[in-house]
Structure 1
Amino acid sequence: MLDSDRARQTLDRSESGAPASGHAVRDLFSTDEIFQRVVATADEEFVRSTRLLFFSGLAAGLSIGLSFVARAALSAEIGDASSLAGAALYPVGFLLIVLGRYQLFTENTLTPVTLVLTRIAAVPALLRLWGIVLLANVLGAALVAAVLARTGVFDADSAAMAREIAMHGLEVPTGALFWKGVFAGWLVASMVWLNHAARDTVTRFFIVFAIMFLVPAADLFHCIIGACETLYLVFQGLAGIGDAARFFGAVVVGNTVGGVLLVAILNYGQTRRTRFPDRDCDDLALTWREFLFGVGRGAPRRSEAGNAPLSRDEDQEGAETGSMLDQPVSA
C-alpha cells in the first residue's frame, strides 16, 4: 500500500476502527458508516463497569432536572405553561447529557441495541445496561425533584408554573401517554443517530436543541424528565406515588418502543450484511444460546500473523475484557 493511502486510512479511522470521515464524500457519512460509528459507541458502553454506568446515569438524571428548572422559570416569566417560548429551554439538560457523554436511558434504545441486532451482544447484557442506567437516571431525577420541592430554589411564580407543567402529564390518559412516549422516543433515538453523523460539536449542539425542542412543542413526554416532574408533585404531597408510577410506566414503554422499533431496527435494516469491513461478522456473532442467555459479546482480536481474526477458543480470554473494535484497521 502506498504511503499516501496508508496515511489517509489512518486519518479516516478512529482508534476504535470506526470511520472518522466518509468514504465517498469526506464530510458526509453513508448509512453503513454512521452505523459503524454507533456500534463503536455501543461497544464502549458495554465494556463499562457497573460503577461507571451508574454514576454516568446518575449525572444524566441530575442534569435532566435542569430542563424542568429552566422551563418552569422561563414559563413563569412569560406567564404561560404551554408557551413555545417557555419550552425553548427544555433542551438544556439534554445538551449537558449529550455533550458531556452521560448515560441516558432513551439514548440507549439505539446505541447498545445495534450490537444486539447484529447478535454481537447478548440480550441479558442489554437488559443489565438498561436496568443500571434507568435506575440511576430515575434516582438522579428524584434527587432534583426532592430538592426543588423541599427548598426555596423556585420562587412562588416558578413553583406554581412547575406544578402546572407537572400536573399536565398526570392528567393525560395512559394510552395517550404511551403513544406520546413513542414519538418522543423516536425523536431522541433519531437525535442520537444524527449526532453520530455529525463531525463537530457545534452541529451536535443544534441537532440536540432543534430535536429536543419538538418534545414539549408537540406535547410529547420523555420518561426521565417526566419522572422529575411527577416526583416533584409527589414530594409536595400533590400526587400519589401510584399516579407517578402510571405515568412513568406508560412513557418509558413508549419511549423504548419508539427508539428501538422506529430508529434502531429501521436504520439497521438499511445497512448491508458486511457492516464491519475489518471484522468477520460470522466470527463476531454469538451462538443463539449465548445471545439469549449469556452476558457477554463477540470480541475477536486480530491474529499477529495477518488479517484473520482469532478463533473463538483462541480468543476466549480476550473476549471477556477486550473491546470489539479495539484494533486499528490493518493496512
Structure 2
Amino acid sequence: MSSRDQGRDDSAVRDTFDRARSGAPAAGGAVRDRFSTDEIFQRVVATADEEVGAPTERLYLSGLAAGFAITLTFFFYASMTAAAEGIDAAGLLAPLLYPVGFVYIIIGRYQLYTENTLTPVTLALTRVTSVPSVLRVWVIVLAGNLTGGAVGAFVLANTGVFSSAAATAAVEIGTKGVETPWWDLVFKGMFAGWLVAGMVWLEHAVRDSISRVVLVYLVIFTIPATGLNHIVVSFTDAVYVVFSGELGLLTALVQFPLPVLVGNTLGGVVLVTLLNYGQTEHQFPDENRRRRLSLREWLFERHTGRVEDAD
C-alpha cells in the first residue's frame, strides 16, 4: 500500500471517529477539542433536526418534564430568598440554587422553550425547514413547559412543601413581577433570552458533561442575580400567586409572563440566532439529504427539508 493510500485510509478512519451518526462533527477540524463556528452550527443543526422531526407526544412529554424541572428552580429560589433575607449579599445568595432545574433540563435533554428559539430556527433560516414546523415545535414545547410549571405551582401552593417564609417570598417575587412595567419586563426577558439561547450555542461547543454543568450554572445564575426573567419560571411564579389567592389569573398572566415571553423570544431569535447564523457558512452535516424549500413550502407547509419528505 502506498503512503498516499495509507493517508487516505487514516483520514477515513479519523473522519469516522470525529463525526457523529448524524454527520455532525464530534471533534474540531483544526483543533480536536475546539470547534469552529461552522462546526458548532452543524452540531446545533443536528440537534434541531431531532426536535423538528420528533412526534408530538415526545415533544410535549419532554416539555412537561422540563416544566417540572423548572418547578425545582422556582422552589429553590423562593426558599433561598427567604433564607437569605436580611443578609447583605442576599442578591447573590438567593440565586445559588436557581440553576438546578436548568441543569436537569440540559443534561437530561428535556425540551425548554427558550432553547428552541435557537435550534429549530437555524433550520428555518436556511429554508430547509418550514416556518410552520418551527412554530409547531414552539407551541408544543411551550404548552408542555407551562403545564409542568402550573402543576408544580399548584402542588407548592396547596401542600406544606414550602415553609411559611418561603411561601411569602414566592408571593412577593410574583407580585413584584406583576408590578414591574410591561416594557421593562420585555427588555428583561430579551436579555434573559439572549443568555439562554447563547448558552445553548456554547453548550454545543463543549464535549463533556462537566463543562456543560459549569456552563449552565454560570449562565443561568446571572438571570436572577441581575433581576432578569425567564418565561417558564415567571409563569410558574405567577400561577403560584394565583393559586395562593393573591391575584386574578388574567392579571397575573398578562402583566408578568406574557411580556417575558415576548422578550425571551426576541432575545433568543434576534440577538443570538440571527447573529450567530450570519457568521457561518450554513453547511449541514447531511447536505446531500436536504433540499431548499420553495417560498410557499417554507411559509405555509410543514416540511423538514429532507429529501425523503418529498418522496
The TM-score normalised by the length of structure 1 is 0.88
CA distance in 1, matches of 2:19, 2:207: 13
**2:190–2:264: 8 Å Cα contact kept in structure 1?**
yes
Q: What residue number does 1:289 align with?
A: 296
Mapping for residues 81-96 of structure 1, pairs under 5 Å: 83-96=91-104
CA distance in 1, matches of 2:11, 2:178: 59
- Shift of residue 13 of structure 1? 0.3
1:70 aligned onto 2:76: yes
| Aligned counterpart in structure 2 of residue 268 of structure 1, from 243, 267, 277 | 277
Q: What residue number does 2:44 align with?
A: 38
CA distance in 2, matches of 1:3, 1:285: 33
| Aligned counterpart in structure 2 of residue 253 of structure 1, from 262, 274, 292 | 262
CA distance in 2, matches of 1:45, 1:132: 11
- Which is richer in helix? 2
- Shift of residue 243 of structure 1? 2.1
CA distance in 2, matches of 1:230, 1:169: 8
1:117 aligned onto 2:130: no
- Shift of residue 75 of structure 1? 2.1
**2:23–2:285: 8 Å Cα contact kept in structure 1?**
no
Amino acid in structure 2 at the alignment position of 1:154: F
Deviations 1:218-253 (A, max 9, x none): 100001000000110000110111222221111101
> Structure 1 residues 277 and 142 mapped into 2: Cα distance closer, same or farther (>3 Å)?
closer
Amino acid in structure 2 at the alignment position of 1:171: E
**1:181–1:221: 8 Å Cα contact kept in structure 2?**
yes
**1:185–1:258: 8 Å Cα contact kept in structure 2?**
yes
Amino acid in structure 1 at the alignment position of 2:147: L
Q: What residue number does 2:142 align with?
A: 134
CA distance in 2, matches of 1:278, 1:129: 21
| Aligned counterpart in structure 2 of residue 231 of structure 1, from 226, 236, 239 | 239
CA distance in 2, matches of 1:186, 1:53: 23
Question: How many residues in Structure 1 have an aligned counterpart in Structure 2?
Answer: 302
1:173 aligned onto 2:167: no
- Shift of residue 280 of structure 1? 4.7
Amino acid in structure 1 at the alignment position of 2:212: R
Identity of aligned residues (%): 51
CA distance in 2, matches of 1:300, 1:83: 52
Q: What residue number does 2:56 align with?
A: 50
Amino acid in structure 1 at the alignment position of 2:300: F
Mapping for residues 143-154 of structure 1, pairs under 5 Å: 143-154=151-162
CA distance in 2, matches of 1:163, 1:241: 14
CA distance in 1, matches of 2:86, 2:190: 26
| Aligned counterpart in structure 2 of residue 194 of structure 1, from 199, 202, 209 | 202
- Shift of residue 80 of structure 1? 4.9
Q: What residue number does 1:328 align with?
A: none
CA distance in 2, matches of 1:242, 1:293: 32
CA distance in 1, matches of 2:151, 2:196: 23
Q: Which moved more, 1:111-120 or 1:239-248?
A: 239-248
1:208 aligned onto 2:216: yes
SS in 1 for 2:129: coil
**2:132–2:302: 8 Å Cα contact kept in structure 1?**
yes
**2:22–2:286: 8 Å Cα contact kept in structure 1?**
no
Q: What residue number does 1:316 align with?
A: 310
The TM-score normalised by the length of structure 2 is 0.94
Unaligned runs of 5+ in 1: 302-314, 318-331
- Shift of residue 3 of structure 1? 2.0
Q: What residue number does 1:10 align with?
A: 16
Q: Which moved more, 1:74-83 or 1:245-254?
A: 74-83
SS in 2 for 1:84: helix
Q: What residue number does 1:326 align with?
A: none
CA distance in 1, matches of 2:167, 2:285: 54
SS in 2 for 1:162: helix
SS in 1 for 2:91: coil
